Amino acid sequence: MDWPNFFKINTVKNISFIGFANITGTAITAIFWLYLADVLGSEIYGEISYLMGIGAIATAVSLIGSEQAITVYSAKKINIQPPIYLISLITSFTSAIILYIAFENIGLSFFVLGYVIYLLTLGETVGRKLYKNYSIYYLIQKILFVIFALFFYFIIGPEGILLGYGLSMLFLTKKVYNTFKHSKMDFSILKTKSHFMINNYILDISKVSTGKIDKLLIGSLFGFSLLGNYFLALQVISLLGIIPGIITRYTLPQDASGVSTKKLKFITAGFSVILALIGIFISPLVLPILFPNYSEAVEFLPILSIFLIPSTISALYISKFIGMEKTSYVIYGYLISFAITTIGIIFLGPIWGTMGLAISVVIASSFQAIFFVCLDFYKSKNNS
C-alpha cells in the first residue's frame, strides 16, 4: 500500500466499516461471555468452551475449501461459490448428525450447521469487498447470539447457549439460497483450482486444530474448571486483539488483489505491543474485582497477553501468503504451533501449572511468527 493511499476516503471508509463491526460485535460477545462466566461458574463455562472447540473442528472438516479460499476467489471474481456451498452444506449436515449421536447435544449440531453457513457467506462478502454488508451481517449475528443464547439458556439450560449460537448464524441461509439461485453450478472450477482448494482445506483444519487444541487438552487433562479460567482470560485477550483483527480482515482481499499493505501491517504489529502491555499490567488489576471466583484466570493473563504480539505478526503474514495462494507456507506454520502447544501443555502443565500452560501457548505462537518472518525473508531474498 502506498502511504498516501492509506488516507484515501475509500480505504478509510472500508476499514471503518470493518472496524466498527468488529469492535462493536466483539465487545458485545466478549461482555456476554464475561456475564456467562459469572452466571455459569468455571466448571460449566469450561465445558461449553470444550464443546465449542469440538464444534469448531467439525466445522473446519465440513467446510470444503475454507473461508479464505472463498475470500480469495471472490476477490479474483472467480465464481467458485455454488459448488463449495453445496458440498459444504452436505458435509455439515453429516457432521451435525454424527455429533448428535456422539454427544446427544442438539445445540452442538446447530452450532456446526450455522457456523459453516456463517463463514462461507462472510468469506464471500469480504472477498467481494462489500465491507458495509459484512459489518451489517457481523453485527446482526452477534446481537442475535446474545438474544437467542439467553432465551434458550433460561428454557433448557447450558445446552441452550450453543443452540442459540447456532441459530444466530442461520439468518444468512437466505444469502446462500440467492447464490444458488443467481449463479451457475460449475464443478469444473473445483478441478482447475483443486491444488489451492486442497491446501486451503488442510490449512483450515490445521488452523482450527491449532486454535482449539489448547482448550481440548486443558479440559481433558486438567478439568473443565481450569479450562473455564483459561477461557475467561482468552475473552480479555480477544477484547485487546480487536484492532489487529480488523486489519487482518481488511488485508486479505487486498493482498489477494495484489494491493500492497506493508506499511499498514507494520503499524498494526507495533500497536500489538502496546495492547500486550495493557494486558500485562492493567487487566490483572481489574479482573479480580469483576470475577473474584476466577483467581487462576488472573494468573493466565500476564503471560497470555504476550501472545498478542506473535499472533498479530503471524496473522499479517498469513494474510500475505494466502493472498499469494502460498497456503503450504501457512500450513507448516500451524503444524509448528500445534506441535509445540501440544508438547508444552502435556509436559509443562503438570510441572508449572497455569504458568506452564500459558507459556506453552506463547512459545508456540512465537515460533510460528518467527518461522513466517524467516520464510518471507528467505523467499524475498531468493526472488530479488
For residue range 57-104, what is the model confidence (pLDDT) as tens digits?
A: 999 999 876 677 777 777 777 777 888 888 889 999 999 999 999 999
Query: How do residues 237-296 score in pLDDT, each as one tens digit?
Result: 988 887 777 777 677 666 656 676 677 777 888 888 999 999 999 888 888 888 988 989
Dihedral angle sign, alpha carbons of residues 207, 211, 215, 221? positive
- pLDDT for 6: 45
DSSP per residue, 56-120: HHHHHHHSTTHHHHHHHHHHTT---HHHHHHHHHHHHHHHHHHHHHHH--HHHHHHHHHHHHHHH
> Mean pLDDT lowest for which of 4-18, 137-151, 281-295, 344-358?
4-18
Asked if 121 and 175 count as a contact pair (C-beta separation under 8 A), the reply is yes
Average pLDDT over residues 25-51: 91
CA atoms within 13 A on the CB side of 36: 30
What's the predicted TM-score (pTM) here?
0.84
Q: Give me the percent of the chain exceeding a pLDDT of 90.
A: 48
Residue 253 has a pLDDT of: 64
Greater confidence, 363 or 315? Answer: 363
DSSP three-state, residue 55: helix
- What DSSP line would sit under 31-45, residue for residue? HHHHHHHHHH-HHHH
Q: At what angle do helices 354-383 and 194-222 cross, to 10 degrees?
A: 160
Can you say how many angstroms the Cα of residue 319 is from the centroid of all Cα atoms in its chain?
13
Residues 175, 323, 12: CA angle, nearest 5 degrees: 70
Q: What are 158-201's pLDDT values in tens digits?
A: 999 999 999 999 999 988 888 787 777 777 777 777 777 787 78
Per the CB < 8 A criterion, the answer to whether 129 and 106 are in contact is no
The x, y and z cell numbers of residue 361, run together, are 501457548
Contacts by 285-288, CB closer than 8 A, 24 or more apart? 287/232, 287/233, 287/236
> What are 33's three cell numbers?
461471555
Find all residues with CB under 8 Å of 103, minimum gap 6, and list them: 51, 54
The pairs formed by 294-299 with CB atoms below 8 angstroms and a separation of 24 or more are: 294/37, 294/42, 294/228, 294/229, 294/232, 295/229, 296/226, 296/229, 296/230, 296/354, 297/229, 297/230, 297/232, 297/233, 299/353, 299/354, 299/355, 299/358
> In angstroms, what CA-CA distances link 261 with 43, 68, 89, 269?
43, 17, 34, 12
